[in-house]
Structure 1
Amino acid sequence: MDLFTAARDFVRTDARLVERRLFATLFEGADPGGVVDALRGYQNADGGFGHALEPDKRCPDSQGLDVETAFDILLAAGARDDDLVRRACDWLASVATPEGAVSLCTPAIENYPRAEHISDWTYQPDLNPTAGLVGRLYKLGVEHPWREQAAAWCAKSLANGLPGDAHALHEAMEYLEHAPGGVDLDPIRAHLAKVSYYRADADDPQYGVTPLHLAPTPDSVWRPLFTDEQLAGHLDRLIADQQSDGGWAITWEPPGPAAELEYRGVETVRALRTLQAYDRLPTS
């Protein structure tokens, strides 16, 4: 069985509804409105998203991490629902600091199962996720007062230097892609080697943020940060990492078997999207 067919069967068998709808939109010509319909089940009355849309914490309460996940899914599907997005922005504004910064999670997650790495560090308002949320809102083309307030906070924060964690740097890059003045690759290129959790070596088996996370498509503004050889190595590794059941594994400990399957569905669709973008998907 070829790579794509095996992955399709894994998604159909083990992925949750929202990833199945996204897969159908991306690879089978389905209406992206179906993805929006699936997302609605994760949106709370307060406008935020919860209910383990990001599977590593099983909390139903709205969380910044789940809002970011919702925005990512909308962008992947090419779907639009400005009302849904603006309601999420209203919630972000309601929980932000006076300057506009938000946190990944709230202490409400402590009442529910969660992965060990989802702990009190996620309660701190920071560039992760504020900068990433702002960047995604620019990509979605949705204006909101919170977006502008948070963008100003991001600019002020980044004036003090780039973050030292690859996840936060990735979030900052989402913002910097749309910041006034255009993209400057040199500071990012110089900084990448210094950050924690950046996995430059495709043969490194440990968890980390890779060049393919930072430049998931060949037309990414961040693509020139990496050589052809680097990207080819990571694409080869991505293909090699497909599991015997057709899905891709995760490299961290989830809160339980259901969360593991859910995240494997997320990662499988992401892998297919990346391989397709770089023309490395054998069959679709």
Structure 2
Amino acid sequence: MIVLSNGNFERAKNWILEHGRDLEKARVKHLIEDGHQHEIIAVLSGYQNEDGGFGKGLEADIRLPHSSSIATTIALQVLVQIDNDPRAKQMIGKAIRYLENHFNSERQGWYAVPPEVNEYPHAFWWTVHEDGMSWIDHHWGNPSAEIIGYLRRYRSEVTRLDVDQLVQQCVDYFLSLTTFESEHEVYCYKRFFQLHPDLVTNTAAEQLGKAVQSLVVIDEEKWKNYVPFPLKFILDPESTQFGIPKKKIDDNLAFFIQALENDPFIEPPWEWNAYSESWEEAKQEWRGVLTYEALKLLLNYQRVVR
């Protein structure tokens, strides 16, 4: 079994502590030893706006200072893991109110980013077009399915939306899909069902399996590109395998071990086509995010010599 040496683990961790954002610094410290969640909360609070939503470049490809639904879900992905903390609960309550206020009744969901995103440096796929949508918005479940998952989990904070109706709509939409075009939409549904395992019927589990099987890229030659590799769906050994061969999971782990043997960080496999100066800043931030995620995966699978 291939493992990451302690020396290379420490090298990657120290790279984050030296070059990463304060959020990744706090998260990597919390990953190694409990007791740093107060640092995570303190840093994350700096990304929360007065309206309760999150922005300020939390999603590094969006330099928009104002709140967006997508940045708010990214914050909630972190906060949901530490929601036993009263300060985290308070931030979550504000975020839920922001999401309620930005629900689009015609869409029966949320748009990922507001039109103001165009006024600031951003990756081209976040550009809002004349129809009011970015490319991301062509798949309803990203981020609406994930948001509905948070509304159900924190139902006591919801005052105006019909949570049960939205949940039913969310599940019905997913079960109606006959083709799967967006891995990000499936990631959102995966988070939705992880938050609410009681909703994972046999039909839903079968549909989720079909979605993963149709999207997962098991050709390791392509993993250096921006693709939905196996570990995007299977974050730890206890997760559902979705029919992905164990060897491919092992190969994917080896891919990241090799990457961290070559360099102390994971390089983002994408780039912007404009705003070159802002992209250099965003790229450095993404290195910290992706390196943290790789270390977490390797620890989840006990592939680090400690």
Shift of 1:268: 0.8
The answer for the alignment partner of 2:268 in structure 1 is 250
Higher helix share: 2
1:134 to 1:225, Cα distance in 2 relative to 1, 3 A: farther
How far apart are the structure 2 equivalents of 1:67 and 1:243?
34
TM-score (norm 1): 0.88
The answer for the alignment partner of 2:214 in structure 1 is 194
Correspondence 1:166-177 to 2 at 5 A: 166-177=183-194
Correspondence 1:1-284 to 2 at 5 A: 2-75=7-80, 80=85, 81-98=88-105, 100-119=108-127, 120-123=134-137, 126-135=140-149, 141-143=153-155, 144-145=157-158, 146=161, 148-161=164-177, 163-177=180-194, 178=196, 180-182=199-201, 184-195=204-215, 198-204=216-222, 205-220=224-239, 222-242=240-260, 244-254=262-272, 255-283=278-306
Contact kept, 8 Å, 1:53 with 1:66, in 2: the verdict is: yes
How far apart are the structure 1 equivalents of 2:236 and 2:151?
19
Contact kept, 8 Å, 1:242 with 1:249, in 2: the verdict is: no
Three-state SS of the structure 2 residue aligned to 1:6 is helix
Three-state SS of the structure 2 residue aligned to 1:225 is coil
Contact kept, 8 Å, 2:186 with 2:211, in 1: the verdict is: no
Give the share of equivalent positions with the same residue, in percent.
22
Contact kept, 8 Å, 2:52 with 2:91, in 1: the verdict is: yes
1:41 to 1:230, Cα distance in 2 relative to 1, 3 A: same
How far apart are the structure 1 equivalents of 2:82 and 2:291?
15
Shift of 1:180: 2.5
Q: Could you list the runs of 5+ residues in structure 2 that have no partner in the other structure?
A: 1-5, 128-133, 273-277
1:79 to 1:249, Cα distance in 2 relative to 1, 3 A: farther
1:259-281: CA deviation from partner (whole Å, max 9, x where unpaired): 11111111111111100001112
How many equivalent pairs are there? 278
RMSD over aligned CA atoms reads 2.4
Shift of 1:194: 3.3
TM-score (norm 2): 0.82
Contact kept, 8 Å, 1:132 with 1:175, in 2: the verdict is: yes
1:101-156: CA deviation from partner (whole Å, max 9, x where unpaired): 11211111100000122222235682001112333566xx4224355454233123
Contact kept, 8 Å, 1:25 with 1:31, in 2: the verdict is: yes
Shift of 1:190: 3.1
How far apart are the structure 2 equivalents of 1:52 and 1:153?
31
